[in-house]
Amino acid sequence: MQTYTAPLRDMRFVMHELFDSARLAKLPGLEEVNTELLDTILEEAAKFQEAVLLPLNASGDAEGCQFENGVVRTPKGFKDAYKAFVAAGWGSLNSDPAYGGQGMAMCISKLIEEIVCSCNLSFGLYTGLSHGAYLALKSYGSKSLKDLYLPKLVDGTWTGTMCLTEPHCGTDLGLLRTKAVPVAGGTYQLTGAKIFISAGEHDLTENIVHLVLARLPDAPSGIKGISLFVVPKFIPNPDGSVGARNGVTCERIEHKMGIKASATCQIAFDNATAWLAGEPHKGMRAMFVMMNSERLSVGIQGLGVGEVAYQSAVAYARERVQGRSLSGTKYPEKLADPLIVHPDVRRMLMTMRSYNEGCRALGVWVANQLDVMERLQDTPERQDAEDFVSLMTPIVKALFTDLGYESSNLALQVFGGHGYIVDHGMEQLVRDARITMIYEGTNGIQALDLVGRKLPANMGRSLRQFFHPVGEFIEKNAQDPNIGALLQPFAKAFGALQLATGFIAQKSLSDPEEAGAAATDYLRLFGLVALGFMWIRMAKIATIKLNDKVNVAGPNAAFYDAKYKTATFFIERILPQAGSLLYSIKAGKASMMALRDSAL
């Protein structure tokens, strides 16, 4: 059975102590945000998701979505859960108050996303994609489109999708064939087929709003000829009510390895009425607003699955007795000691714990910069925040999902044979986590984006937003006796990242394949150093708190002690991978590309 309680204490630590949530109140629209409000929202969200969504996770996986005559039925309980979710306002938390949203800070929104994904990843896809559609329309839709669609997407009356992939093209969207022909009244007739459309058809809402990439008749070839269209399942009446059925049908749903309670659809558009969103042939610019939002959210999905996997494994390791401790019996009253006493089990549990807490901290850092980027206009701070978010988006998506999958696999290993069977729910977590490494751009594509676009952009300007604060922290704390033992190996890993960055920048000038060969290792190296930066900062806070014997005692002292010890584990046992990654990067492409295609 899956075990999960929202890690509220750690979430509060990251929000308030690591990143000082009081700073949020200095941003436009967040003036009333304070510690008490953030904590209350988090606590209520945890109560709701744990009570409503978590019990449906295993049953939803077992039942899956049902498809018959173009109609998709979600698993038992999902429809009522969705109604309760939107009625409670969880889907509108971060949306603009002008369209019925609550205008809340991104950090609290992302932490609640994590809770949702820990409780029920499949359910989270229905609500998460709607927010991505909202962002794209808010950024590039006309006033009439925004006024009609955004309030419905915000309050959850309608849901949204993202329709990119076609049977013959995935990542290479320049090959897409879906066509849109202009007709009278400023609308278009759109015809084509899309696959792998999450939440493309379901019974949760009265309407589904598809954002579709297609070509106009005069479109140039390739990716520069793509436009974005709004294609509703039902054409709205002027008053916002649902009108006639549009030329949009679900042809089938996919039978998948995981996320079985999420309907992954093949959608056919047959002269469907569509509206252009944004400028002609500029659809990718608009769609990337949604895609980048979704890539960050998919990273949070990886963290969410990693957290429920970790908690489930800890609970099992405490209960399951097996063998005696290598250092002598620890629980003489039992027939054997519990699994948790064994070093290799501890290795797995500590690995998961250090991944999750490090990713949570990094995720909130990015979320805070998203708020700066969205709420400050035409300022140096906004540009810095945009550079940072741009740099970190592929890292968050790829690293968090890689580690979430690793954690779910480790959790299954802790359960042993019991993890391999359905009863305990670990194999579901492994299956669910695996897709996060693929959709919204495979992790290999994220790595190529990092080295091919983000690093060289604006002469490497975005790198300063990470490299400068890390370098300043190392210099400032070089003589700190409390974290000195951790700072030195962290500084060495940071040095490896700097060397790898220079190596790739130099090699890629003469041979782009060198950057491609290094990309995945480089993203992992960058990600581990980023987590290390979070851990060294958290370790510093923990030591300060532990030295305050008067005000820190009991559970708080235990929390900070665990935080410091987990930081030590990460830096001593995980971060040394930076050295081997650097060696792999510097080995270059030669051995990777040596075999002819026919010899592979």
Work out whether strand 264-277 and strand 227-232 pair parallel, antiparallel, or are unpaired. Answer: antiparallel
**Catalytic member of 307, 374, 440, 514:** 440
**Gap between the Cα atoms of 86 and 92, Å rounded:** 8
Contact 42, 106 (CB under 8 A): no
**Gap between the Cα atoms of 224 and 279, Å rounded:** 12
* The residue type at 252: R
Contact 18, 361 (CB under 8 A): yes
The secondary structure of residue 461, as a DSSP letter, is G
Work out whether strand 227-232 and strand 207-214 pair parallel, antiparallel, or are unpaired. Answer: antiparallel
The residues that bridge with 191 in the sheet, in sequence order, are 179
Mention every residue, 6+ apart, whose C-beta is less than 8 A from residue 542.
560, 561, 563, 564, 567
**Gap between the Cα atoms of 453 and 19, Å rounded:** 28
Contact 518, 501 (CB under 8 A): no
Contact 282, 85 (CB under 8 A): no
440 included as an active-site residue: yes
**Gap between the Cα atoms of 91 and 459, Å rounded:** 39
The helix/strand/coil state of 87 is: helix
**Gap between the Cα atoms of 346 and 352, Å rounded:** 10
Residue showing tokens 């000038």: 509
**Residue 297 CA: distances (Å) to CA of 112, 392, 447:** 11, 13, 17
Query: What phi and psi, each to the nearest 5 degrees, are found at residue 390?
Result: -60, -45
The total of other beta-carbon atoms located within 10 Å of residue 319's CB is 10
The answer to whether the Cα torsion of 539, 540, 541, 542 is positive or negative is positive
Element (H, E) at 366: helix 343-375
Catalytic residues: 440
